[in-house]
Structure 1
């Protein structure tokens, strides 16, 4: 069931269009190729069915299958077998046979690489032998001008269709890659940056501050008595509180102030090009907003934040020292009674 709703069905959908285009265009190649042999009506009916019914039937077979990927792989081998049969019926007429067989091989390589290609070549060989045995046509008849003209559409259109499908797959893979990259940097609970992404951002901002004369601040934020909230009300309530805090961060911080969940109930905020006074003002609004929050389901639950701010200064030797300064300011806020903001001392101030 997982395969049916996932990559297997997606694979069958991806093969649907090139099969429909290929068999539809191939119909005219084969029609002109076998016309001189004056085959019976059942052969024409079979050719019509293969050209215009089989693509839709193959997709439905894969769609209702419990294993659509494997079923579609078998359908692709059947494509090769059918193409070989028609090449045999034509007596291996050079131009239409080569075009049909090569076009079939082209999309099989694109769909399944060399393993599928080898299976297809084997199926084509069996099909050719069967077509030659059943109809015993003249071998390698000369290709007429009409047959050449009938082959031009598939020669021009089909490679373009395969190229467009490969391009679409490449675009989708690029989108998936970017989405995975975002997920790898995002905390699944809060939607903020995660610890690893924050460390990269901290290193970049530290390097930028060292190279410029601007003022930036780093803040660590802790939810007061969060363990007690978890123990008293359960982890589901605790998780909801973390979501509330992250939403409040996004709402009250400026657009260019990135935030992250650093771990547990601790959050980090970077305030680029911000003075200590401006940083305190921004984070005070955040602290007041969290303090005023009330959960209708838990009206007696009060939330508060302890916040430590560390402005960048020339005395900070590396990014970890900057983070440590913010951490010490946070602990000072907790020792001061929590629900407050403490600013780390500047290089010129006594510790």
Structure 2
């Protein structure tokens, strides 16, 4: 279950990754093109430059998105290449504007800021170097023309880029951070819980049992450790196949969860073996809950195949002779073994 969820999130993120970048690139390059166009208009630029600006600002975002979509194996690498190209073109337009102060600084800062957000400081430095190299080469081709003065009309043309693009980056960054937190939470859950059943995995369940035993040793408050085994589970796997066996495990886990109190801790101890830690409980109370679970399992039709199963259950209360969680487990396991020896489908209390 948890593995499927992680896979679904990864696939969803891959499918949305190129689209997210496409939207940000289309917005950024479109707004940036307005700044550049205002300067080119003042400089009476050639038709070739106007055509190149239209291609870079209006056509390239679609081509970049197509490159990422076609790069199914390495979309991230394709996008990093696109981002490097964006930075290089930014350097070209800074030179083409003859270093007009406000739009040049705006292009350099915005095109570096989003690279740092996406790829980190090292990638930001690399793309900034590509921008500087392209700018230097392009400026040399134009004889190092340098006119840093910014007119009032160009200032007005830069305002949409200055106001809208940072806000868009903020929204996109917040969305990415939220998805990162979701993935972190999922990974932490996968590290603590069994993927198939959603119960605590063996390590985490043993840790919960250890804490409960220490609490008993410190305060004397009662607790019960329960071990449960699906009877003749090997015969189910051999007779019906492992897919049905996995379904039996998942169905049983759901039944077990319905019998747990909020304070109980259920876990998958092994393949077909489960455990419950029941704090503030005597064995007389625990055996009532265990019997209710045993009856529910016996009456349940598993995996939609009309398959019926039984369970054997061993209980153990901590006492002075139990010094460690291993002793506690062994006591419950011994009771479980005796339940199986008695013919299964029953409950035995350990001593």
Q: TM-score range by the shorter chain?
A: 0.7 to 0.9
1:38 is aligned, of 38, 44, 67, to 44
Q: Is 1:168 matched up with 2:175?
A: yes
Residue 80 (structure 1) shift: 1.4
- Distance in 2, matches of 1:184 and 1:15, equals 31
For each residue in 1:265-306, what CA deviation from the matched residue of structure 2 results, as whole angstroms up to 9, or x when unmatched?
21101222223222111110111122223459866x652221
CA spacing shift, 1:97–1:45, aligned 2, 3 Å: same
2:26 is aligned, of 11, 20, 28, to 20
2:4 is matched with none
1:180 is aligned, of 182, 187, 194, to 187
Residue 166 (structure 1) shift: 2.6
1:348 is matched with none
C-alpha contact (below 8 Å) 2:247/2:302 kept by paired residues: no
- Distance in 2, matches of 1:138 and 1:294, equals 83
2:196 is matched with 189
C-alpha contact (below 8 Å) 1:7/1:69 kept by paired residues: no
C-alpha contact (below 8 Å) 2:251/2:302 kept by paired residues: no
Residue 333 (structure 1) shift: 1.8
Residue 240 (structure 1) shift: 2.7
CA RMSD of aligned residues (A): 2.9
1:292 is matched with 299
Residue 177 (structure 1) shift: 1.2
Residue 114 (structure 1) shift: 4.8
In the alignment, structure 2 segments of 5+ residues that lack a partner are 1-9
- TM-score for the superposition, normalised by structure 2: 0.84
Written as runs of structure 1 = structure 2, the 5 A alignment for 1:215-226 is 215-226=222-233
Report the number of matched residues.
341
1:95 is matched with 102
For each residue in 1:3-31, what CA deviation from the matched residue of structure 2 results, as whole angstroms up to 9, or x when unmatched?
x9676655433322332232122123212
Q: Secondary structure at the match of 2:215?
A: helix
Q: Is 1:112 matched up with 2:124?
A: no
Residue 213 (structure 1) shift: 4.8
CA spacing shift, 1:179–1:8, aligned 2, 3 Å: closer
1:142 is matched with 149
220-229 or 144-153: which moved more?
Answer: 144-153
2:6 is matched with none
- Distance in 2, matches of 1:296 and 1:170, equals 39
- Distance in 2, matches of 1:219 and 1:168, equals 44
128-137 or 154-163: which moved more?
Answer: 128-137
For each residue in 1:79-117, what CA deviation from the matched residue of structure 2 results, as whole angstroms up to 9, or x when unmatched?
112211211111112332122112112212222235533
2:68 is matched with 62
- Distance in 1, matches of 2:153 and 2:78, equals 37
Q: Secondary structure at the match of 1:53?
A: helix
- TM-score for the superposition, normalised by structure 1: 0.84
Residue 236 (structure 1) shift: 3.2
2:337 is matched with 331
232-241 or 181-190: which moved more?
Answer: 232-241
CA spacing shift, 1:172–1:332, aligned 2, 3 Å: same
107-116 or 321-330: which moved more?
Answer: 107-116
CA spacing shift, 1:144–1:296, aligned 2, 3 Å: closer
- Distance in 2, matches of 1:127 and 1:298, equals 68
2:82 is matched with 75
2:324 is aligned, of 318, 322, 325, to 318
- Distance in 2, matches of 1:326 and 1:198, equals 15
- Distance in 2, matches of 1:135 and 1:143, equals 19
C-alpha contact (below 8 Å) 2:244/2:303 kept by paired residues: no
